[in-house]
A and B are shown apart, each in its own frame.
Chain A
Amino acid sequence: MEKKKFAVMDGNEAAAYVAFRVNEVIAIYPITPSSNMGEWCDEWAAKGYKNIWGVTPTVVEMQSEAGAAGAVHGALQSGALTTTFTAAQGLLLKIPNMFKIAGELTPTVFNISARTIATHALSIFGDHSDVMAARMTGFGMIASGSVQEVMDLGLISYASSLKSRIPMIHFFDGFRTSHEENKIEVVPDEIMRQMIPDELVHEHRLRALNPERPVIRGTAQNPDVFFQNRETVNRFYAACPDIVQEQMDKFAALTGRQYHLFDYIGHPEAERVVVLMASGGETAEETVKYLVKNYDEKVGVVRVRLYRPFSVKHFINALPSTVKAIAVLDRTKEPGAIGEPLYQDVVSAIFEHYEEGTPKFKQHPKIVGGRYGLSSKEFTPAMVKAVFDNLKLEKPKNHFTVGIIDDVTFTSIDFDPEFSIESDKVIRAMFYGLGSDGTVGANKNSVKIIGEHTDLYAQGYYVYDSRKAGTLTVSHLRFGPEPIRAPYLITKANFVACHQTVFVEKYHMLDNLIPGGTFLINAPFEGEELWNFFPKSVQKQILDKKIRVFYIDAQKVAEESGMGRRINTIMQTCFFAISGILPKDQAIQAIKDSIVRTYGKKGEDIVIKNIKAVENTLENLRELQIPDKITANRDIQPPVPDYAPEFVKKVESPIIAGKGDWLPVSVFPVDGTWPTGTTQYEKRNIALEIPVWDEKICIQCGKCAFVCPHATIRIKVFDPKYLENAPPTFKYTDARDKEFAGLKYSIQVAPEDCTGCGVCVDVCPVKDKTNPKHKALDMMPQMPLREQEAINWDFFLKIPDYDRTKIKVSTIRQQQIQRPLFEFSGACAGCGETPYVKLVSQLFGDRAIIANATGCSSIYGGNLPTTPWAKDENGRGPAWSNSLFEDNAEFGFGFRLAIDKQKEIAINLLKSLAPQIGEQLVEEILNARQKTEPEIYEQRERVKILVDKLREIDAPEAKKLMTIADYLVKKSVWIIGGDGWAYDIGYGGLDHVVAMGKDVNLLVLDTEVYSNTGGQASKATPLGAVAKFAANGKPAFKKDLGWMVMSYGNVYVATVAFGAKDEHTLKAFLEAEAYEGPSVIIAFSHCIAHGIDMSQPLQHHKLAVDSGQWILYRYNPELAKEGKNPLILDSKEPSVPISQYMNKEIRFRMLAQSNPQLAQYLQEQAQEYVKKRYQMYKHLAEMKIGSNGQS
């Protein structure tokens, strides 16, 4: 027999591995956490890998999950073996087709990395709310609980579906299984061939639509026959469970791994049994084994593998007859139901079993249901034990929750967080790293080294931050002699590594370290200095737990080895050197071999430097001699300052500190409402360098503030009187603009909020005439400036904002004085989207209501713990919400409808109350022009007077009007999202909304890929760019969205690129908002997914425009009304070849490095297209238009 092949992979890869091999057509669309399955398949197809029949599957990205489902349905109906992957809202979008596919008894498998459906909030993490929402589609449902099971049951799903004709949802827990790396036994292709017999494939093909033997499907039926016809499928569902079991048995005969529809594990005479599915089953199984072995507890677990069709017979057979109490655990919530779905199925099953009259149980078991693990909430052995303890009670709590503290409706049961079943044989290690330092990559590498090159087993799971810049990552690694089945985070580590020195001052890392454990820290200190650097509680834990401490100045070693800031290889080497997992020499050699494997294809130089780093590491790793007493008098600081609002301190602060799991139900708002403007309290201090202003040479152009992605560099113009208590280092100068004569001008950086991206310095046009190295802004180390600049920042904030009505908003130098109402977001350092978002907040924030499509902007705009949308000094600011990805235009359109309606009602009431209010005020309010800041200010003043008057009027209409009088002041509706939304999934809605002619402003942040899900191609991706789902380069031209929208004639359309022409950007935003109809701004947004230097992104805007790749224009229907051509072309003829632009960005260069001929061909095509497209726009812009708007 062939030697068993083991490999380390995560659940997504395991699912994709099988799917790719047993399918011919794969339709995909990105959604977390399932995107990787599609990415793998696309990548393998691009490389020409084959399925088990020697064919490369066709992998096609669609415009949405609904589109993918439609393509799948069509391909299935036409005879191809077809599959897809998705999660969460994506699965919901597939449901209509799933009913059809199942109704037509069409075999397929949808692989689902189960994820939370957005309700009061979005969550990317895992639970079963999505698959449960699809449970009545007629699809079968098979649940996998581990990476190995994903591979095994994935194959069994395909085999069962083909045989039974019931399509299957094969699901596993999002993130917990989809992203957990584990060592698994790979199913060989030969076994797959045996599991998927040709005759079943042939039968599938024979059922296909084919004009050679035509039939029709999808008829419309009437009350006379639909019902009966619907019942014809019953026998297929009845036969399905046995077919699935047959396939499981066949698989067991081939591989030795046996599964059952319901696997029972536990005491043969168990009295208490838990029923659940997916990864929670692994935890329950291991806990049961532990309790039976160590305490002889009569407990057991039923792991549900085939959830639909639910076989009562198999379920009852699985339960021991001794069972007295059953707890059914659902990883979902169905508000208003008697209980969650699995609970209800179990209750019904037991009831039906009793109804049959010959019950197998010695006594009628009690059945309770409980919820656990929503949105990847930890589900640990301690919680399993708590569930069993509940079942011990005379009257166990029903409809309970476990894993949270519910102090409102008291559903939760208690658990002992100290309870642990971790084996001594398993090495458990935690690594605290920074996203950018390569910690996770190194740990993934370690798991591969151990898992694939030794007999040991390995598991890796990684917890990421909710921010994209300066993020904390925590890696949880287990290594041991037996397969590792522990789908929960490590809390009893025997090794903890701190890869960034400052973390020791912020996080309670040693809480999870066991006594006698090892702590490794990267620090630029040694000996006593290092000890004294540790906060008090850290020192105490080291002494109390007798922790061994090792240290290395990894930064120094990295620099000396030519590695820059990447300390990953160094810290990985330390881990192997200290942990003793492998003999040291063997470990070091394994790392070196792995370096060659990992980096070899990217060039010898990278390999040489990494190997040098390994060698340098061993020379610099030291053990700290632990002093015998605590010397520190400071401790880990609270995450938010004392002056923060109560809610921030009570709710957001624990979340920042990583203690969110312990927040009880009572502290949360009931409907997802959250306060804005709280990022200001989370001082993240992630910048190594911050800009320093030279007021003497600054020309006060405002560009630095304009381009700042995080609103951390601000401008104020103010009366000198406010300088009275200025701190000594606070900088200011005379304001230069004549309108500001006699006033002072200051540019101030928020030192603790700045990400250090350097874009402000990049844009700064001023060089010191006597020292050109020095600009009006220079980057300087943050640490020495932090304290002083924090004081200056506080002072700066206290200076009143300049009167908005006096600012000339049409020039950047003045407009940038407007206070940003979008600040310190979690966007990447140097983000290309946020300057536009911030601009909206500055110009219109005090009257803006924003609909935000799911994507980067909804994540940096609304991901907890803190919120970047802020308020001005009057308490006004953008009201913001995210509905979905696909409906954003419609969602925002709804805002406009509601605002207009309430305004209409207010006007009617106003008119009816005119005699009491006073005719003059009413007339003024009704006829107010609200185009400029002063006009809006005046209207607000009038409405204030109105409200005062209404208070005095004793009439129900007056009370009604008071509640909606606000709507008499202009509201600016903004609909913001990325290109994935606007070009693809939401295009239908966008198109419809602009066609409706209402006054909404759509801002498309065009990064030309799905940035938030990791850079998958969209229809905005330019020709020749490499992206995920376009691994061989985008083969089609970028969709010309502006052109399409312009065709309506009554839509304001502008394309902008702030790095190429910032004043043009400003003008477009002003015009768009002023236009009383639909406006679309398509904004070139550089992105980390372009593979560019994020500290110097503006050159990319410029090159994109100069090469003609991005044409700047404004189409203003107002001009047509004046008899002018509405199209103004703001770009000059392309002046540089497209190659100059394309060669600047890795997304294009990568193709040249993988397929030079294709890259060359596409580049030539791109050049041709750019020229033609420019000429087309030029021609249109130069057309003479008559006064009636006709040419």
Chain B
Amino acid sequence: MDISTKYLGMNLKSPLVASASPLTEDLKGLKKLEDAGAAAVVLPSIFEEQLRAEQHDLHFYTTQGTYSYAESLTYFPEYDQYRFISDNYLELIRKAKESLSIPIIGSINGATLGGWTEFAKKIEEAGADALELNIYFIPTDLNQSGESVENTYLEIIKAVKSATNLPVAVKLGPFFSNFANFAKRIEEAGANALVLFNRFYQPDVDLEKLEVHPSIHLSTSHANRLPMRWIAILKNKIKIDFAATSGIHTSDDVIKMLLVGANVTMLCSALLKNGVFYLLQLEKELIEWMEEHEYESVQQMIGIMSQENTPNPSEYERVQYVKAISTYKI
């Protein structure tokens, strides 16, 4: 049984990829994932804000109150060099490349154009096999048009692409007025894959403190319908690869995503919940399903249920519950 797949120009032994999560943040975790059968790993995103904040914190807190009073002109010793999160990140890539044989996908997360995009180059130099560009931007400016938001995304993609020769996958949210058009423009901007979709951490309200907190919940299978739809719609209409992410918990979820057109499936919540060796089970069940349904390879499966290939393409365009019910009545 051939369960290999291709993603971002890489040959992967299976479509089961560990997406960015605490499980991929250190070498120990990465090795465990490889042992459990992950076909590739995506390192946790390094955030644009992190890169900036860390520098500013260090500078601010080591200089505040200095040169004010004659006895305490400074408060900290000075080092010749400082290691930043970014240095540790690059070190992780280097070490991972030394000790793992599966591909390592670096990940950066940002929302504005800036020097941080240069970090893509460093990720390449550290030995990563590919890069996931995670763009997370909540436009709140009443005067900013949707088009300008999209243009910002495209500029970031272009900036990152020009900084590196690595294949770049773009991970983003679904909230665009015409995602199909935007996906096409992303492809034109040079992206090599789309990772659909980013799960946003949604804010929550603390009723006692009257404060807003970010809340983090693990996904459920239910969350995979949205990426499923859009991968299905876009498959083959644009030529880039697709990675399905969000709500992939069971082998059924994996299979469905492959069928609608995903080249790989990204797993996070399922592994956090069930442990990394759950990958072995998923792989086993995938193979069983393929045997049962007489597929010889994953390649054969990918995209057969895309909008283009499905006997009833309009199903992917349904938007209303009412309509679905009435159809049922008929």
B-binding residues in A (CB < 8 A): 32-33, 35-36, 39, 42-43, 46-47, 124, 175, 179, 435-436, 438-441, 444, 462, 464-469, 471, 473, 599, 601-606, 608, 767, 769, 772, 828, 859, 1011-1015, 1026-1028, 1031, 1088-1089, 1091-1094, 1146-1147, 1149-1150, 1152-1154, 1156
Contacts and interface: CB of A to CB of B under 8 A. Distances in A.
Interface stretch (B78-86, B223-231, B274-282): B78-86
Contact of A1092 (B61, B82, B211): B61
B69 A1015 contact: no
B213 to A, nearest CB: 13
Given A602-B55, A1153-B58, A1014 B68 contact: no
Contacts of B51: 603, 605
Given A436-B64, A1015-B75, A1015-B76, A175 B54 contact: no
A416 B241 CA distance: 86
B63 interface: yes
A603 B81 contact: no
A179 B74 CA distance: 13
Contacts of B215: none
Nearest to B83: A1153
A919 to B, nearest CB: 57
Interface of B: 51-52, 54-59, 61-84, 88, 115, 209-211
Contacts of B78: 43
Contact of A601 (B66, B67, B69, B81): B81
A441 B66 contact: yes
Give the 6 A-B residue pairs with the shortest CB-CB distance, closest first: A435-B68, A603-B55, A440-B67, A1091-B61, A1031-B77, A1014-B72
A468 B69 CA distance: 6
Contacts of A608: 115
Contact of A32 (B63, B68, B71): B71
Given A1012-B71, A1150-B82, 7 more contacts: A435-B65, A468-B65, A767-B210, A859-B71, A1015-B74, A1092-B61, A1153-B79
Contacts of A606: 55-56, 59
A1150 B60 CA distance: 13
A1156 B88 contact: yes
Contacts of B72: 468, 1011-1015, 1089
Contact of B77 (A179, A604, A772, A1026): A1026
A473 B80 contact: no
Contacts of B52: 605
A752 to B, nearest CB: 20
Contacts of A471: 68-69
A767 B70 CA distance: 41
Nearest to B64: A1088
Given A32-B71, A1094-B64, A772 B59 contact: no
B225 to A, nearest CB: 35
A602 B82 contact: yes
B323 to A, nearest CB: 41
B68 A436 contact: yes
Nearest to A566: B63
30 contacts: A32-B71, A33-B70, A39-B77, A47-B80, A436-B64, A439-B67, A444-B67, A464-B70, A468-B65, A471-B69, A473-B67, A602-B58, A603-B51, A603-B58, A606-B56, A767-B210, A772-B210, A828-B65, A859-B69, A1014-B73, A1028-B76, A1088-B64, A1088-B65, A1089-B72, A1091-B75, A1094-B64, A1146-B58, A1146-B62, A1147-B76, A1153-B83
B55 A124 contact: no
A473 B58 contact: no
A1065 B46 CA distance: 42
A440 B68 CA distance: 8
Contact of B59 (A32, A175, A602, A1093): A602
Given A473-B68, A1153-B84, A1091 B76 contact: yes
Contacts of A767: 209-210
Nearest to B72: A1014
A465 to B, nearest CB: 7
B28 to A, nearest CB: 12
Contacts of B67: 435, 438-441, 444, 462, 464, 473
A467 B59 CA distance: 23
Contact of A1150 (B55, B62, B64, B70): B62
Nearest to B88: A1156
Contacts of A438: 63, 67
A1089 B75 contact: yes
B273 to A, nearest CB: 22
B131 to A, nearest CB: 19
A772 to B, nearest CB: 4
Nearest to B211: A772
B69 A464 contact: yes
B266 to A, nearest CB: 28
Contacts of B71: 32-33, 35, 124, 859, 1012-1014
A601 B80 contact: yes
B68 to A, nearest CB: 3
B76 A1146 contact: yes
Contacts of B76: 1015, 1026-1028, 1089, 1091, 1146-1147, 1150
Contact of A42 (B56, B63, B77): B77
Nearest to B57: A1146
Nearest to A856: B72
Given A602-B55, A1156-B88, A435 B83 contact: no
B75 A1014 contact: yes
Contact of A1014 (B54, B74, B211): B74
Given A39-B77, A828-B65, A1015-B76, A1154 B82 contact: yes
B175 to A, nearest CB: 27
A198 to B, nearest CB: 31
Contacts of B88: 1156
B70 A1028 contact: no
